[in-house]
Amino acid sequence: MALIRITKGHDIPIAGRPQPRIIDAPRPARVALQPADFRYLRPRLLVAEGDSVKTGAPVLEDKDDPRIRFVSPGTGKIASVHYGERRRILEVIIELSGEEQFLDNPPMTREEVLGLDRFALKNKLLQSGLWPLIRQRPFSKIASPDDMPSAILINGMPADPFDADPGAFLSGMEESFQLGIEIISRLTDGKTHLCCAAGASHKAFTQAAHCLRHEIAGPYPAGLPAVQIYHVCPPKAGEVVWYISAQDVAAIADYFTAGKYPTQRIVSLCGPSVLNPTYLRTRQGACAESLSDGRVQEGEQRYVTGGVLTGRKIAATGFLGFYDSMLFVLPEGRTREFLGFLHPGHDRYSASRAFLSTLFPKATRLIDTNKHGSVRNFVLNSAYEDICPVDILPQFLAKSVLAGDIEESEKHGILDCAECGLCTFACPSKIELGRIIRKGIDDIRNEG
């Protein structure tokens, strides 16, 4: 076991952290698959509106690799398919029926599972629709089944301080988690790494075998797989590293032993606008209404699925993303303050020491979506590299991307960027640096 201390980063003291207890959420009336959750995916629709589907039945496939399929997280009817520009599929909404029916798949014993070779394991994962749970660095896209990763990393930490703690829901699932580790470790000739929080005492982690265990200490984004890979097993040129969450590792094991597509997901409902922040047991791709109904304050609120800084805005009637285990709710900031620049800022927060609130670093803040300023000219300063956990210079990197210089952006370590969103949050000019860097990463991938 190795202890890795990440000194750079930043924890935003927002109110609304969840209590580590799990409550059963009401059964959602609808679930959805959203192709935008999968980077660089060119989806092909395999169903039509009005079709009936079983849980685990194929709904989408990748045009570039039809082996990669995306299946229904529930039994019901295809209620609607929403399209965007140029007939791009935005979401496939499934209206759940009362009875759960699964595609036939014979359950296997632990010995039978461990008797499968690598080729058979890959085929089972591809056919089940669970393969998209495995992603790769660089590019944070679905792993290619034809690649041989130099290492595989299992993330046993909350990706975000508000995210659900894997240890809270792995209690009692130690055997499934261990079997999942052994399945995942067979997909590489390299090492399998398990990253957990420093001091984690959960049996699922302390008794884990067939992997190298690392304890990670540090502020956000220490829980992001990209940061862990950078410090634990960075890929060399031409190599890829696969990664997967601890919750999904246990789900894969359950699929093999139960023979049913695992639909359960533990989600953190949190944020300043949530009345009693907690963990909820729900279904993959569930509608936000089933989680937030009666649990959110009145008024105009913003719903964010995924991380506080890395998630995406959805409507109150929207759906959780495929990888998301957090629904964050905060007030919309619509008001403007007269002569706000003269305010000492005892109740405001900034990554810099611009406000009086700096004197109370441990106090939580009821932060809303107000930017407290408009976009201004870009000014070189140290606000970015002081909190960047992967030792790159975001301001010079962003300039090289804006200049269209791919080689220069690669020299500045663009593929090491964790896309944590801190540079955007800390930017005194209110510039979306994270979006600029993401465009640069996409340009490199498109150039091949």
Task: Indicate the residue type of 227.
Answer: V
Domains identified in the chain, total number = 2
* pLDDT (mean) for 126-149: 97
List phi, psi (to 5°) of 231. Answer: -95, -20
Q: Checking DSSP bridges between strand 2-5 and strand 212-217, what pairing results, if any?
A: parallel
Round the average pLDDT of the chain to a whole number and report it: 93
Say if 161 falls within a structural domain: yes
Evaluate whether 268 touches 325 at the Cβ level (below 8 Å): yes
* pLDDT over 90 (residue 350): no
Residue 48 lies in a domain: no
Residue 343 in this model has a pLDDT that exceeds 70: no
Parallel, antiparallel, or unpaired for β 135-137 and 241-245? antiparallel
Q: Report whether 345 contacts 356 (CB < 8 A).
A: yes
Q: What is the pLDDT of residues 212-243, one digit of tens each?
A: 999 999 999 999 999 999 999 999 999 999 99
Report the alpha-carbon distance of residue 369 to residue 397 in Å, rounded.
26
What is the spatial distance between Cα 218 and Cα 210, in angstroms, rounded to a whole number? Answer: 26
Q: How many percent of the chain have pLDDT more than 70?
A: 95
pLDDT at 401 over 60: yes
Indicate whether 341 pLDDT > 60. no
pTM: 0.95
Residue 12 has φ and ψ, to the nearest 5°, of -85, 120
Between CA 63 and CA 87 the distance in angstroms is: 15
On whether residue 429 sits in a domain, the answer given is yes
Is residue 347 over pLDDT 90? Answer: no
341 secondary structure, DSSP code: G
DSSP-assigned beta bridge partners for residue 217:
5
- Gap between the Cα atoms of 293 and 128, Å rounded: 32
pLDDT value at position 435? 94
Residue 273 lies in a domain: no
- Smallest Cα–Cα separation from 55: which of 334, 263, 268? 263
Separation of alpha carbons 223 and 311, rounded Å? 15
Number of H helices, E strands in the chain: 12, 20
pLDDT digits (tens, 9 = 90+) for 55-103: 999 999 999 999 999 999 999 999 999 999 999 999 999 999 988 999 9
| 12 contacts 308 by C-beta, under 8 angstroms | yes
Average pLDDT over residues 403-407: 94
What's phi and psi for 445, nearest 5 deg?
-65, -40
In a domain, 443, yes or no: yes
Residue 378 or 274, more confident: 274
Cα–Cα distance for residue pair 18/1, rounded to 1 Å: 29
Last residue of a domain, one of 214, 239, 258: 258
Q: Range of 394's domain?
A: 371-447
Query: Hey, is 435 helix, strand or coil?
Result: helix
* Residue that finishes a domain, picked among 226, 258, 290: 258
For residues 147 and 334, the model is more confident at 147
Tokens of 436: 């600029």
The answer as to whether 84 is a domain residue is no
User: CA–CA distance from 156 to each of 91, 165, 215, 247, 250 (Å)?
Assistant: 29, 8, 10, 8, 11
User: Which of 216, 236, 258 is the C-terminal boundary of a domain?
Assistant: 258
CB atoms within 10 A of CB 124: 19
235 inside domain: yes
Q: Which helix (H) or strand (E) holds 254?
A: helix 246-258
Residue 401 lies in a domain: yes
Q: Residue 340: is its pLDDT beyond 70?
A: no
Q: Give the pLDDT confidence score for residue 352 in this predicted structure.
A: 74
